[in-house]
Amino acid sequence: MKKKPKRIGLAIVGAGRVGLIRGELAARHPEVDWIGLAEINPERGEIVREKCGADFVTTNFRELLSRPEVNAVVVSTDEHLHVDPVVFASERKLPMLIEKPLATDLAESASTLAAIEKSGVDAVIGYTQRFRRRWLVAKEKVKSGALGEVTMVTSRAFMNRLVAIDNYKRSDNRAEVTPMVISGTHALDIVMWLMEAKKPVEVYARSVNKALGPTWQGVDGTGYTITFDDGAIYHGVISWALPEIWPGAVYSLEIGAVGTEGVLTIDDTHRDIVLATNLIQAEGYSPDKRRHVDFLTSYPVGDMALGELRGPMREETNSWLNRVSLGVPTQHATAREGHNRLMLTKAIDLSAKLKRPIKLPITPDDMKQAG
> pLDDT for 152-165, tens place per residue?
999 999 998 988 99
356 and 100 Cβ atoms separated by less than 8 Å: no
Arithmetic mean of pLDDT, 254-272:
96
pLDDT at res. 192: 97
Whether residue 371 is contained in a domain is answered as no
Is 100 in the same domain as 139? no
CATH number at residue 113: 3.40.50.720
Is 19 contained in some domain? Answer: yes
pTM score of the predicted model: 0.92
In a domain? residue 310? no
pLDDT, one tens digit per residue, over 308-319 is 888 999 999 999
| Domain identity same for 32 and 56 | yes
Listing DSSP states for 258-306 in one string gives EESS-EEEEEES-TTSEEEEEEEE--SSS-SS-EEEEETT-STT-EEET
Mean of pLDDT over the chain: 92
Statement to judge: residues 165 and 115 lie in one domain: no
In the predicted model, is pLDDT for residue 270 greater than 70? yes
Together in a domain, 188 and 261: yes
Please give the pLDDT value at position 148. Answer: 97
Number of domains comprising the chain:
2
Half-sphere exposure in the Cβ direction for 45 (13 Å, CA): 21
Q: Please check whether residues 139 and 281 belong to one and the same domain.
A: yes
Q: Are residues 369 and 354 in contact, defined by beta-carbon separation less than 8 angstroms?
A: no
- pLDDT, residue 2, reads 61
Sorted by sequence, the CB contacts under 8 Å of residue 62 that are 6+ apart come out as 88
Buried b (16+ CB within 10 A) or exposed e, 47-58: ebbeebebebbb
% of the chain at pLDDT higher than 90: 77
177 and 109 co-located in one domain:
no
Confidence of residue 282 (pLDDT cuts 50, 70, 90): low
- Mean pLDDT over 225-230 rounds to 98
Q: Containing domain of residue 60, as a range?
A: 8-129+320-334
Q: Compute the average pLDDT of residues 92-100.
A: 97
Judge if 163 and 271 occupy the same domain: yes
Supply the pLDDT for residue 289: 59
Q: Which residues pair with 208 in a beta bridge?
A: 221
Residues 110 and 156 both lie in one domain:
no
Does residue 27 sit in the same domain as residue 172? no
Cα–chain center distance at 182: 8
Same-domain check for residues 196 and 293: yes
Give me the pLDDT at residue 248, please. Answer: 82
User: 188-204: per-residue pLDDT in tens?
Assistant: 999 999 998 899 999 99
What confidence tier does 290 reach under pLDDT thresholds 50, 70, 90?
A: low
329 shares its domain with 266: no
User: For residue range 41-50, what is the model confidence (pLDDT) as tens digits?
Assistant: 999 999 999 9
In a domain, 107, yes or no: yes
The domain that contains 253 carries what CATH number? 3.30.360.10
In degrees, rounded to 5, the angle at the alpha carbon of residue 35 between the alpha carbons of residues 31 and 36 is: 155
Residue 168, judged by CB atoms within 10 A of its CB (0-12, 13-18, 19+), counts as: middle
- The answer on 294 and 149 residing in a single domain is yes
Residue 2 lies in a domain: no
- Mean pLDDT score, 64-68: 98
* Residue 234 three-state SS: strand
Using pLDDT thresholds of 50, 70 and 90, give the confidence band for residue 302.
Answer: confident
